C-alpha cells in the first residue's frame, strides 16, 4: 500500500516546505490517516492535513517524539506475522503505529 506522502504528494510537499519535516517523515512511513492520528494522539487530523491544511507546532513536536521512539535500534529483529483473512491491513496499520517496518511477502 502507498504511504500518505505518496497518496497526497502535493499536500505533504507543502507541509514539508512549511517546516514540518518530522510530520512529513511520518507521512512517508504511514499508509492510513487513522494510523497516523493514533500514533500522534489525534482524531482526524491527518485527513485534514491530506486535504492541504497545515498542522500546528504541537503536532510537529509529537511527530519528533514518535520518530525518536520508533527509530530502528542498532540491532533489529525480523519477525514473520501470519494474519487470518481480512486482518492483514489492520495488522499492518498496528505494526506501523508501533514503528515497525512492514513488508508483504
Predicted confidence (pLDDT) at residue 94 exceeds the cutoff of 90:
no
- pLDDT of 69 reads 83
More confident residue, 103 or 86: 86
Instruction: List pLDDT tens digits, range 28-74.
Output: 988 889 889 999 999 889 999 999 899 999 999 999 999 988 765 55
Using CA atoms, how far residue 99 sits from 26, 56, 69, 70, in Å, is 10, 22, 8, 5
Picking from 59, 47, 75, the residue whose alpha carbon sits closest to that of residue 19 is 59
Quick one: DSSP state of residue 39? H
Structural domain that includes position 30: 4-97
At 102, the pLDDT band (50, 70, 90 cuts) reads confident
pLDDT score at 79: 76
Residue 19 lies inside a defined structural domain of this protein: yes
Q: Is residue 102 part of a domain?
A: no
List the one residue out of 36, 14, 18, 19 whose CA is nearest residue 27.
36
Which contacts of 79-83 are long-range, i.e. CB under 8 A and separated by 24 or more positions?
Answer: 80/105
- Is the residue at 103 inside a domain? no
- pLDDT at position 71: 67
104 located within any domain: no
Of the candidates 103, 20, 99, the one whose C-alpha atom is nearest the C-alpha of residue 64 is 20
Structural domains in the chain (count):
1
78 within some domain: yes
Residue 72 belongs to some domain of the structure: yes
| Cell 512511513, residue located | 29
Establish if 91 belongs to a structural domain. Answer: yes
Amino acid at each position: 500500500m502507498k504511504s500518505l506522502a505518496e497518496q497526497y504528494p502535493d499536500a505533504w510537499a507543502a507541509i514539508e516546505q512549511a517546516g514540518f519535516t518530522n510530520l512529513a517523515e511520518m507521512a512517508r512511513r504511514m499508509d492510513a490517516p487513522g494510523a497516523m492520528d493514533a500514533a500522534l494522539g489525534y482524531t482526524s487530523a491527518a485527513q485534514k492535513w491530506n486535504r492541504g491544511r497545515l498542522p500546528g507546532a504541537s503536532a510537529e513536536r509529537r511527530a519528533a517524539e514518535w520518530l525518536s521512539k520508533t527509530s530502528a535500534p542498532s540491532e533489529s529483529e525480523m519477525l514473520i506475522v501470519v494474519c487470518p483473512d481480512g486482518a492483514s491491513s489492520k495488522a499492518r496499520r498496528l505494526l506501523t503505529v508501533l514503528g515497525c517496518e512492514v513488508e508483504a511477502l
